[in-house]
Structure 1
Amino acid sequence: MLTDLQHLLDRAVGKEAESLEENLRATVRALWDRQFIYADDHGGSAPYELAKRYRSYFGSLFDAMGYDFFVEEKERIVGILDQAGAAPRTMRWDETLFLLALRILYEEKVRGFDLKERGRCDVTLSQVWNLVEERAMRKRPSLTRCIELVRRFQRHGLVRFLNEHDEDATLEIRPAIRLAMSEASLDSLIRYAQANSAGQPSVRDVPEDGDLDDDNLDVPSDGGGDAS
C-alpha cells in the first residue's frame, strides 16, 4: 500500500502534489468513520471526487483491510462494506427494527416510483415506528430515543432529518440503506418478527434493552473504524 501511495505522489504535479497525500489520508479517515459519503452533502464533494479519481488505490487499500470499496456515480455515493457481510457489533433491537423499517419503506417508495432525485425518499418518523408496531408488534421507544436513532444513522448516510420537531418529523431515507441492509437480513428479520403467529418466540419476548447479534447487517458501529 505504501508503494502504491508513493507512485501516486510521484505522478502528481503542481498544487495537487502539495496536498495529495493529506487529502488521500483525509478521505480514508472519512470513509472509515462515516462509511457512506454523498457528494452533495456538506464537505462531501472533495472526498467523493478524490475517491472516484483514485478508486483503484482506495479499492486495493480497503480490500487489504477486508472491505469492499465502491463508487455509485448515478447517486454520487462512495462507501465501504465489510466483505464478511457481518455487523461489527451487537445491535440493540430498536436499532435493528429501525433500519428494517427504513428498508421496507424505501422499497415501497421504489415500487411506487416515489423516489426523489438521486434515489432518496421522504417519510415521517411516526411512519417508521407505526410500521415497527404493526409488523413486529414492538412498542416504539421514547421520542428522545427515536431522535437519537436517527442521529446515529444519519452520521453514516442511511437517513437524515429534514426537520426535527416531533413525532411528525420528516426524514429522508437515503439510497445507502439498500447497501447497509441486505435482502437476506430483510427477509429473515421479517420472518422472525412475525414468528409469534406460528407460536414461535417473538420480538415481544426480548427485553426492551435486549440486543440482536445479526450477521447479515452491514451497519457501522459507533466510534469510527468499524464501518461495515
Structure 2
Amino acid sequence: MLQDLSAILDRASGKEAETLQQDLLATTRALWDRQFIYGDDHGGTRPYELGRRYRAYFESLFDALGYDFLLDEKERLIGIIDQAGAAPRAMRLDETLFLLALRVIYEERVRSFDIKERGRCDTTLAEVWTMIEERTMRKRPSVTRSTELVRRFQRHGLVRFLDEQGQDAMLEIRPAIRLAMAEATLESLLRYAQGAANGTGRPEEDPLRDEAQDLDGAGDPDPDPVPDPTPMI
C-alpha cells in the first residue's frame, strides 16, 4: 500500500501534487467516519473524485482493514462495507427498526417507480413510525429521539432531512440504504417485498415484526442494545 501511495504521489504534478497526500488521507478519514459519501453533497465532490480516480488504492487500503471499498458512478457514491457483515458496535432496538423501516419503504418506492434522480426517494418521519407501530406494536419515540436517529443515519449517508417539522418532517432515503444491510436481513426484506408484490396481504414473514420479536422478546419494550444489522462504523 505504501508503494502504491508513493507511485500515485510520484505521478502527480502541478497544484494537485502539493495537496494530494493530504487529500487522500482526508478521504480515508471521511470514509472511516461517515461510511458513505456522495459526490453531489456539500464537501463530497473531492472525496468522490479521488475515490473514483484512485479506486485501486482505496480497495487495497480498506481490504487490509477488513472492509470492501464501493464505488457507484451512477449514484456518484463511494463507501465501505465490513467484509464480515458485522459491526463493532450495537444499536438499540428503535435504531434497528428505524433502519429496517427505511429499507422497506425504499423497496416499496422502487417497485412503484417512485425513485428520484440518483436513486433517492422521499418519505416522512410519520410514515416510518406508523409502519413500525403497525407491524411491531411499539410506540414511536419522542420527536427529540426521532430527530437524533435521523441525524445519526444522516451522518452515514443513509437518510437526510428535507425539512424538520416534528413528526411530519420530510426525509430523503438515500441509495446507500441498500448497501448498509447485512445479508440475512436483506434476504428477509426481499421475501417481504415479494409477498407484498404478489398481493397476498401481510406476508407470513414481516421483517419489522420478526426483528422486534427476535431481538427483544415478543414485544417487550426493553431498551437494551441489540446486534447491529449494518456495518456502521
TM-score (ref. length: structure 2): 0.87
How many angstroms does 1:13 deviate by? 1.2
1:46/1:137 CA distance change after superposition, 3 Å: same
Deviation sequence 1:3-58 (CA, Å, 0-9, x none): 21111111111111111101100110111111000001000001000110000000
How many angstroms does 1:218 deviate by? 2.3
Aligned to 1:181: 181
Secondary structure at 2:79 match in 1: strand
Aligned to 2:60: 60
Deviation sequence 1:91-119 (CA, Å, 0-9, x none): 10000000000000000000000000000
In the aligned structure 2, how far is the partner of 1:195 from the partner of 1:93?
9
> 1:211 and 2:221 equivalent?
no
Q: Which runs of 5+ in 2 are unaligned?
A: 190-204
How many angstroms does 1:191 deviate by? 4.9
Aligned to 1:223: none
Aligned to 1:163: 163
How many angstroms does 1:2 deviate by? 1.4
In the aligned structure 2, how far is the partner of 1:136 from the partner of 1:29?
37
Preserved contact between residue 75 and residue 119 of structure 2 (Cα < 8 Å): yes
Q: Please tell me the root mean square deviation across aligned C-alpha atoms, in Å.
A: 2.0
Secondary structure at 1:42 match in 2: coil
1:191/1:173 CA distance change after superposition, 3 Å: closer
1:195/1:101 CA distance change after superposition, 3 Å: closer
How many angstroms does 1:181 deviate by? 1.4
In the aligned structure 2, how far is the partner of 1:177 from the partner of 1:195?
17
| Count of residue pairs the alignment pairs up | 215
% same residue: 65
In the aligned structure 1, how far is the partner of 2:7 from the partner of 2:210?
54
Preserved contact between residue 195 and residue 201 of structure 1 (Cα < 8 Å): no
1:194/1:56 CA distance change after superposition, 3 Å: closer
TM-score (ref. length: structure 1): 0.89
**AA paired with 2:220?**
D
